Amino acid sequence: MTLPLIPLPTVRTHHLMRHRLCEAPTGAGKGDDLHDLLQDLTFVQLDSINTVARAHHMILHARRTNYRPKALDAVLAQRRGFEHWTHDASVIDMANFAHWKLKFARDAVTIKARYKNWHRDGFEQKFDTVLKQISDHGACCSSDVGTEEKKGSGGWWDWHPSKTALEYLWRAGKLSVTHRQGFRKFYDLTERVIPEQHLAATFTPEETIAHSCATALDKLAFATSGEIAAFWDLVTPAEAKAWCVAELAAKHLIEVELETALGKPRRAFARPETLEMPLTAPTKRIRILSPFDPALRDRKRTERLFGFHYRIEVFVPEAKRQYGYYVFPILEGDRLIGRIDMKADRARDAMAVRAFWPERGVRMGAGRIKALTRAIERSTRLAGVTDLEFAHDWLR
């Protein structure tokens, strides 16, 4: 049977709509408006690199130019979101907490084995001690536990046993992040952090698998079973495949072929109603995106959608590096038009723009340069610096 062929512009527009990158980035960017955005995105990835601003702040700012970092702190303080892992550390809408109990149970097994390989032995013997310390004295950070233990000399991941125990108990759901100071996590007992209605709610593994697959497809519009599994990193590829097969048989899903920027069509699943959904044309505003933006984090999908190879020049063996490691993709409408290397020099209160590389076929006329400069100015305000400095050869 011939499958429906979805044109590439339609695929891109669905993708950008689901990731809130078609609409104008207006709105309060705080309070209920910010929580609504988090609910719709479902999660935003956390990252410590602060070249311009941390990844989660750049993700939210790309969709709400009024957003400022303290607004997310307020949403988390109101317990509208929680911190845990998807494919990486993330802020997740609190409505998903009960489904994370399956991840807690699975991580309790897999992470224990992984930590035994990554970190030094003895962390399991510290569980009761760490839990009692937090129960008796309240929230703590990693430097508050195991103060008598010898610290490792092997770098960032060479944790002492109590630090490893603290992280394990968080991954296993016994502890939750209650707040941060800077980027340092403070942990408390989960029952003292998570609101009762979410703490008490329970789902069977089958219900969580169905929820995870359905919400993943809702955010991706068109996806393979592997992409559905990878979205949350909560279900296994086999579980996602079985869900797709069952939903296809029940006629809740259809198969389609997608045009790609690489030329070869790709088969995927979709909901039948997706093909009838009205589309919103993307605004032409230029946005500076985090490399960890949920619309871009799947690098292979980004290549198929936009023909944009984020890291290919960096990691080709024996090739000269053309771009810096941490450059920011630039979105204009439904195109990724280039990447920019810039850094907030907070000691000098300035944003230093080092280089912008347009994608092949993108002409940098006066209007586009002006629009890009305005986007850089918006990022400058997000970073909390005042001046804007361009290298003499910044436009490559």
Q: Give the pairing type, strands 266-270 and 254-258.
A: antiparallel
pLDDT of residue 315: 43
pLDDT of residue 312: 43
| CB-count burial class (<10 Å; 0-12, 13-18, 19+) for 320 | exposed
pTM, full prediction? 0.92
| Statement: residue 247 has pLDDT above 80 | yes
- The answer to whether the beta carbons of residues 269 and 255 sit under 8 Å apart is yes
Residue 319 has a pLDDT of: 47
**In the prediction, which pLDDT does 55 show?**
94
Residue 157: band (very low, low, confident or very high) from pLDDT cuts 50, 70, 90: low
**Residue % of the chain over a pLDDT of 70:** 92
DSSP 251: T
CB contact set of 337 (below 8 Å; sequence gap of 6+): 286, 330, 331, 358, 359, 362, 368
Q: With bands split at pLDDT 50, 70 and 90, how would you rate the model's confidence at 16?
A: very high
In this structure, the strands spanning 387-390 and 350-358 are: parallel
What is the structure's pLDDT at 346?
95
- Average per-residue pLDDT in the chain? 92
Q: Looking at residue 176, what is its pLDDT?
A: 98
What's the pLDDT score for residue 316? 45
Residue 200, Cβ density class (10 Å: 0-12 exposed, 13-18 middle, ≥19 buried) = exposed
Residue 314 has pLDDT above 90, yes or no: no
d(CA 235, CA 232): 7
What domains appear along the chain, each with residue ranges and CATH number?
A: 119-194 (1.10.10), 286-390 (3.40.630)
Q: List, for residues 19-41, the tens digit of each pLDDT value.
A: 999 999 999 999 999 999 999 99
